[in-house]
Chains A and B, each alone.
Chain A
Amino acid sequence: MDSMAALQILIYTILGTIIGGILSMVPALHIFNVSGIALLIWFRWPFLMPEVALPAFFMAMLVAWANINTIPSMFIGAPDEAAVFVVLPGQKYMLQGRGYEASILTGVGSLGAIVMMVLLTPFLYYTLPFIKNIRSQNLAWIMLLFIIYMLMSEWPKGSGMGKTVWERFTWAWANLISGLTTFALSAFLGFIILNRTMVPLDMSFQGIMPVFVGLFAVAGIIQNLVSHQAVPPQHESKSIDVDYRLLGKGIFAGTIGGGLASIIPAVTGGIGGIIAGAATGQRDDRIFVISQGVSKTIYYVGAFLLFFVPTLMLSRGGMTIILKPLFTPYTNQEYFMILSVIMISGALSFLMMFPLTRWTIRLITHVDYHIILWIALAIVFVIVYGLTGWMGMFLMGVSTGIGLIPAFYHSRKSNCMAVLLVWMVLSQGGHGPAILKFFRLD
């Protein structure tokens, strides 16, 4: 690589970080949607960016997004599918006036994730290829394990209120039934949207976007709108309440969670993080928040990084799907180049988190929180309508209805991931055609 190319890569890394960081602040705008549009722009005006800088630019945007998108997730309650679990502890911190600290904790987690990616390079090169091969031959039932665990480990919220067996049973099962309903409806929605293109053909790569926005972001915003929860004054602390033990535990759990999510299809960073949290027995909220930051970064960035490992070349994640037709890495040099991009972009986006979090806190404490939520909702509508038209809006409406069930019955939001998981398990197991025939979707 000559010095000119290296300079171009550096410039576009910085540019990608800044653009990605700013766009991350827009509620419900997913980086994969932005990347798809950015690629369309590049096709039309290729002079805007040299081809050699293409992977660096997209990776930088992804790193910045994985870091900074936590801010709208946490403060406005408009998460994506990977950040959905950080909302509750984030709001808990906000109620205690410590929203700033929570945001920075996830940023620290993202930095930890980048350190882990560097340290795990030998593992990615020499061990992961074996695991990938074993996984590939057993994918159907391994994905089914995630479904079983998600469903079986959702307990009733206690033994229920009421004096009779039936009263207590129905009270306690309300959340379980809502969880199962969410799961079943999401799975059915997945059968339809994964087998029918319901958005305009030129935007077919955005087909699943309105569904995810509805399930997670719009449902989250509506939940906050009706909760009438006042935001207490937020303290901008000079330091964070965490020692190296907590940091180590958070990074350890998050790495396992993000690692699982980055190699198992349809498993998100949030689900991976929850499972890793259970495996490592974490109870402290700070560990949870850090681990979710780690998990999210490894889920998005790590999955894309795997594409650059020459001994592996694992195609996982939306960014790989977008860039694969244009670019295929073969050398160690490309791997270490992209690792450098991750480190530079990670450091820059971490620094960006401080002013952006401060700015968001000032906004939510000085402007009526409900007005901000309404504006966020309007932005979401504009984005979804602009990209996918009325059909996308309809899909978003349906999925919002499903996403609101767990919000109001206190069941797990992760049940919404059945939208991808169930179809993938069935199609991997060879039952796809039969299912499509049964529902007359063939």
Chain B
Amino acid sequence: MKGLTHFLSGVALGSFIPAAVRMANSTGENSYILALGGLFGIMPDTLDFKVGQFFSGADYDVDADPNRLDPQKMAEQIGRAMDDAWETGRYVKIQLYPIRISVDLWRQYVVKFDGEKNEIVVIINEIVNTSQASYVGSAPKTNRVGRCRVKGKMLETHGKPSVVDIMSGPQFGFIKKGGVVEVEFLPWHRTWSHSFVLGFILSAAVWLIASLIAGWDKGWLYGLVSFLGYSIHITEDLTGHMGGSLLWPFQKDRTNGLCLFKASAAHANFSVDYLAVTVLLFNLNRFAPKPFFTLGTWEYLLYVIAIPLIIYGLIGKFFGEKKDVDKKEGEISAEKALASQQQSSNEEMLYDAEDAVVGDVQR
């Protein structure tokens, strides 16, 4: 799920501890304790994206020359890495780099793992600035698409093409599993950082520090709120495609998720956000020294949580987008390039076919 969802969920979960809510209330200690739930709710991704990714070295690099763009060569480089994984059975990682043209200009490209045709497709797109605004008409007129068929059967789990433009590109991991080469998107993500064990260790550190500052009778509450925040993040991530290394360092493999919805699914994220905020308000009220409203749990669940979410769901169902609109501009541009190439290819085939027929008649 998204960072904000983890963040809000962490705060909401911490609010189930009456003592923590009373400590946070301005009529109590005016403590910042509940903010720890949010901090630890977003912490696993912070560890990955701000620290972990830099330590994941790659076996192959795709670092194209901006003055000699060759999508075919780029596709072949990726294909070579995948074939390496297929032939040797070892885990192979490849780093894609952005193509920098000048201080503020970048050449965008898209990499697609086409499982149906078992090939890697690289499409060169427009020039973009650092705000990712593309310059209309700047896509190459020719030699825009490169394709490379790989030896082993590929299994792509990410589900969509990767757009590479500014600052840096993604890393992919290739591993032979059974009769296929599995493509892992961001192999450094959701591994050691998404572990309940690490969450426990970090929360223990918080408990220790808080105990030294606020006393041993309250310090454990800070640790508990932190652990709940960290744990809800890992648990929520299991709803997506990519799971986590839940018991690292005891279990290092990244488990698959439950595939209930994509991490970026707008409706799922918003529903959880809404649930978190309403639950937080309910808990802040009921555990306050003097509650402001007296709505019972079931009434609150029905009127404030269930009915609005059902209405939201119905609006989404009847008035929402019917097709997948969760696409970046670069993906759309790449699709157009592929469609155009396909059309040219079809026209060529048609011409060849007609030519053959005409040739037959002439013969």
A interface residues with partner B (beta carbon < 8 Å): 88, 91-92, 95-96, 130-131, 133-134, 136-141, 144-145, 148-149, 152-153, 155-161, 163, 165, 168-169, 172-173, 176, 227, 244-245, 248, 275, 278-284, 410, 428-430
Provide the residues of chain A in CB contact with B104, threshold 8 Å: 227
The 5 closest A-B pairs by CB, nearest first: A158-B168, A281-B266, A157-B167, A92-B133, A158-B167
CA distance A284 to B33 in the complex (A): 36
CA distance A140 to B55 in the complex (A): 37
Interchain CB contact (< 8 A) of A176 among B33, B50, B98, B269: B50
Tell whether B46 is near chain A: CB-to-CB under 8 Å: yes
Are B133's CB and A96's CB within 8 A?
A: yes
Are B321's CB and A279's CB within 8 A?
A: no
CA distance A82 to B74 in the complex (A): 43
0 or 1 for each of B298-321: is its CB under 8 Å from A? (1 = yes): 000000000000000000000111
Are B131's CB and A88's CB within 8 A?
A: yes
Tell whether B161 is near chain A: CB-to-CB under 8 Å: no
> For residue B267, which residue of chain A has the nearest CB?
A281
CA distance A281 to B170 in the complex (A): 21
Provide the residues of chain A in CB contact with B5, threshold 8 Å: 279
Stretch at the interface among B24-32, B81-89, B115-123, B346-354: B24-32
Are B26's CB and A245's CB within 8 A?
A: no
Provide the residues of chain B in CB contact with A245, threshold 8 Å: 319-321
Are A141's CB and B32's CB within 8 A?
A: yes
0 or 1 for each of B1-44: is its CB under 8 Å from A? (1 = yes): 01111010001000000000000111100111111001100110
Provide the residues of chain A in CB contact with B31, threshold 8 Å: 141
Are B319's CB and A159's CB within 8 A?
A: no
Are A158's CB and B4's CB within 8 A?
A: no
CA distance A156 to B169 in the complex (A): 12
Are A149's CB and B38's CB within 8 A?
A: yes
Provide the residues of chain A in CB contact with B171, threshold 8 Å: 159
* B residues 265-296 in Cβ contact with A at 8 Å: 265-267, 269-270, 273, 281, 284-285, 288, 292-293
Q: How many residues of B contact A (CB 8 A)?
A: 66
0 or 1 for each of B145-174: is its CB under 8 Å from A? (1 = yes): 000000000000000000000111111000
Are B27's CB and A137's CB within 8 A?
A: yes
CA distance A137 to B291 in the complex (A): 11
Provide the residues of chain A in CB contact with B216, threshold 8 Å: none
Beyond contacts A96-B136, A138-B25, A430-B30: 18 other A-B pairs, Cβ-Cβ < 8 A, are: A95-B133, A96-B133, A137-B26, A137-B27, A138-B284, A140-B30, A145-B35, A149-B7, A152-B46, A156-B49, A157-B167, A159-B170, A161-B98, A169-B54, A227-B104, A281-B267, A282-B266, A429-B32
Are A153's CB and B50's CB within 8 A?
A: no
Provide the residues of chain B in CB contact with A140, threshold 8 Å: 26, 30, 32
